[in-house]
Amino acid sequence: MKKHRILSCAVCLSMALSTLSASVFALSFNDVDNDPTVAWAKDSITQMTEAGYIKGYEEGTFKPYRAISKIECLLLMSRMLGVEEEEYADFTANAKAMYGTTVAKYNTTYPDELCFLLYMGILTESDLVDYASTANANTELLRYQAAMLMAKLMGADSEAKAFSVSPATYADDAKIPSSAKPYVEYVTEEGIMNGMDKDANGNPQFSPTTSLTRAQMATLLARMIDKLDKMTYTGTIDTLDLNNDVIAIDRNGDVSERNVNDDTVARQDGKSIQLNTLAEGSEIAAVEINGHIQLIEVVSEGSGSVSDKKGTVVYALISSLTESADGQRITLADSEDSSNNATYTAASNCTYTINGTKGNFSSLKKNDFVKATISGGKIVAISVEDTDLTISGTLTEVEFDEDDHVYLYVEDSEGDEQQYVVSSKGATVTRDGSSAEYRELSAGDKVTMELYKGKITKVKATSSTESFTGVLSEIVIATQPSVTILIDGKAENFKLRSDARILISGEEATIYDLRPNITVSGTLDSSEIRTLMASSVSTNEKGEVTGTVTGINTSYKVITVEDSNGNSQSIYYNTKTTFLKSSGDTTTAKSIEKGATVSITGAENNGIFEATIIIVK
């Protein structure tokens, strides 16, 4: 496993935020200075442009009323957190190494910034679906979404999610999505966002589905500058008191207690670990936000208790044991290939278990079959095991390498994942009582495996079947294709089985015929899709689609329309599509606004509805 260490020197990464604007030297904008309707935001615009967070355009304008896109907001958030600052450069490098492949599925233009937000624990991968995917990145950021992102930026996602007031602050509370209501109340309480206007009775309204403008974003950033207190430092863990959410850290002889919370992320070798697996004496690099540690990166492990430590588990035979002034060293060898071996130093606090009882280094013998836990390049726990083992858990992945090895990744009841390798002599595999091939196994299967000297000799898998209905939001065409589906407002990512069946309007189709923003249903085989069904766009007797525009993505050339029955439908257009106003004048796709009523004429083509004429009423 690659060790991602915090380096002593750093390189500042300077990324141009080209989607926001081109860089200019003048910090005075004629469309701000000469527009009295923007006076309320002028000071914030000046402050944020001078700080370099948000910039103007080459012609000397700021375009204060232009809407901010979702991806632009994420880029600004990463800048606020230090993605371009020299002292955070190593975090950025580690983030890209850890999440580069993940981010590539969503947005390849700004990998550093998105990896950084994931690594810091500010965003989750489901957030990338909502804000950075092809279908969503360039859509306008709505005010309720801005409220959620600002809470996350403060490292207060858990706190905001649980926040509540009664009665609701805003008269249009019913228009705020239920999942966003606590966030809106939280940012209001913190003075980050407030109402837009008042209703007829003089009560404040939040206007949750109104797009956030550049002027409003500048104001938000200015408020966040005052609220966002961040710093990074290195030190050594002195003591842990997680019952009281406190870690004492020694920074060059100065020991101070630092707070952690539910949003704190701890990492070792780039991967997320539980806070309770941290050890006293560990060297760390930390990032603090608003008085709590947001990120702890373990640089080297300390000598604290390792009884609860996590690490890489290896089943092997002891090939040799040596002890010298340099320490106690154990060579572990593959039970089926003695040339495949590695030598490790035993940690000073390594725990030894011999036939279920406590032992020591001298209790080990050559050719003992052992289970070794390796962390930080050292053996931190080792136990002598029976050569015959039975392992049960949930299958998460089946992997094949170029040398014809087969690996099964299995998650135990505590959520810990372990890799197991199939014996070179092969293994018997059954699924739901019938003989099966490895490729027929599916993530989510419940498995019971028999192992001999650490190698799988028998696999018994049990599948589960589940139905689903949702909105298709992302399609990833790769060696292992997958789709992301919004089910009850939550983004769920599913792999497609190699034999998955796709139907559009009852006709056989392929993954290439699918498009985002259509309603789909189907069945899961464990956690992988076996069948995926989509309906065609419903039209009237004239072949027309009529409804209200709920979304438009000019990059993907798709308009989402809701009909009178509340059904959401995706309409695609191309260079041959004609756009007309009801007056007969021509118009363009960019001129179509949400809420507009449209009448669309077109036809089905390979499972999608392509418009030939779009009339905006």
Alpha-carbon Rg for the chain, nearest whole angstrom, is: 28
In the predicted structure, residue 424 carries a pLDDT above the cut 50: yes
Average pLDDT rounded to a whole number, residues 348-359: 85
DSSP for residue 31: H
Residue 539 pLDDT class (50, 70, 90 cuts): low
| Distance, CA of 224 to CA of 218 (rounded, Å) | 10
Residue 499 pLDDT class (50, 70, 90 cuts): confident
> Would you say 116 and 48 are in contact if contact means Cβ atoms under 8 Å apart?
no
Average pLDDT rounded to a whole number, residues 180-192: 94
What's the pTM value of the predicted model, to 2 decimals? 0.50
| DSSP H or E segment with residue 419 | strand 417-422
Q: What pLDDT score does 542 carry?
A: 60
Q: Which CATH fold would you assign to the domain 388-462? A: OB fold (Dihydrolipoamide Acetyltransferase, E2P) (2.40.50)
Nearest Cα residue to 395 out of 493, 463, 485, 480: 463
Indicate the range of 15-19, 234-238, 517-521, 594-598 predicted with least confidence.
15-19
| Distance, CA of 442 to CA of 477 (rounded, Å) | 19
> Would you say 384 and 354 are in contact if contact means Cβ atoms under 8 Å apart?
yes
Q: What percentage of the chain reaches a pLDDT higher than 90?
A: 37
Strands 292-300 and 265-268: what pairing? parallel
Q: What pLDDT score does 18 carry?
A: 32
Span 108-123, pLDDT tens digits: 788 999 999 999 999 9
Indicate the range of 290-299, 307-316, 372-381, 592-601 predicted with least confidence.
307-316
Residue 585 or residue 173, greater confidence: 173
| Distance, CA of 231 to CA of 289 (rounded, Å) | 7
- For the stretch 381-385, contacts whose Cβ atoms lie closer than 8 Å and that sit 24 or more positions apart, written own/partner, are 381/306, 381/307, 381/309, 381/311, 381/350, 381/351, 381/353, 382/330, 382/346, 382/350, 382/351, 382/352, 382/353, 383/352, 383/353, 383/354, 384/353, 384/354, 384/355, 384/359, 385/315
CATH superfamily of 230-300: Copper binding periplasmic protein CusF (2.40.50.320)
For residue 389, CA distances in Å to 285, 420, 449, 456 come to 39, 12, 8, 9
| Distance, CA of 613 to CA of 470 (rounded, Å) | 29
- CA of residue 457 relative to chain centroid, distance: 36
In the predicted structure, residue 605 carries a pLDDT above the cut 80: no
DSSP string, 547-609: EEEEEEETTTTEEEEE-TTS-EEEEE--TT-EEEETTS-B--GGG--TT-EEEEEEEEETTEE
Q: What pLDDT score does 388 carry?
A: 93
Sign of CA dihedral 201, 203, 209, 213: positive
DSSP for residue 244: G
Residue 232 or residue 59, greater confidence: 232
The chain-wide mean pLDDT, for the chain, equals 85
Residue 395 pLDDT class (50, 70, 90 cuts): very high
Residue 308 pLDDT class (50, 70, 90 cuts): very low
Residue 587 or residue 6, greater confidence: 587
CATH superfamily of 544-616: Copper binding periplasmic protein CusF (2.40.50.320)
In the predicted structure, residue 534 carries a pLDDT above the cut 60: yes
Q: How many CB atoms lie within 10 A of CB 36?
A: 8
Output phi, psi for 205, to 5 deg: -125, 145
- CATH of range 465-534; options 3.30.420.10, 3.40.50.720, 2.40.50.140, 1.10.3720.10: 2.40.50.140
Average pLDDT rounded to a whole number, residues 79-102: 90
Peptide bond into 167 cis (omega under 30): yes
Place of tokens 């599916």: 442
- For the stretch 571-574, contacts whose Cβ atoms lie closer than 8 Å and that sit 24 or more positions apart, written own/partner, are 571/537, 571/545, 571/600, 571/602, 571/609, 571/610, 571/611, 571/614, 572/515, 572/608, 572/609, 572/610, 572/611, 573/610, 573/611, 573/614, 574/610
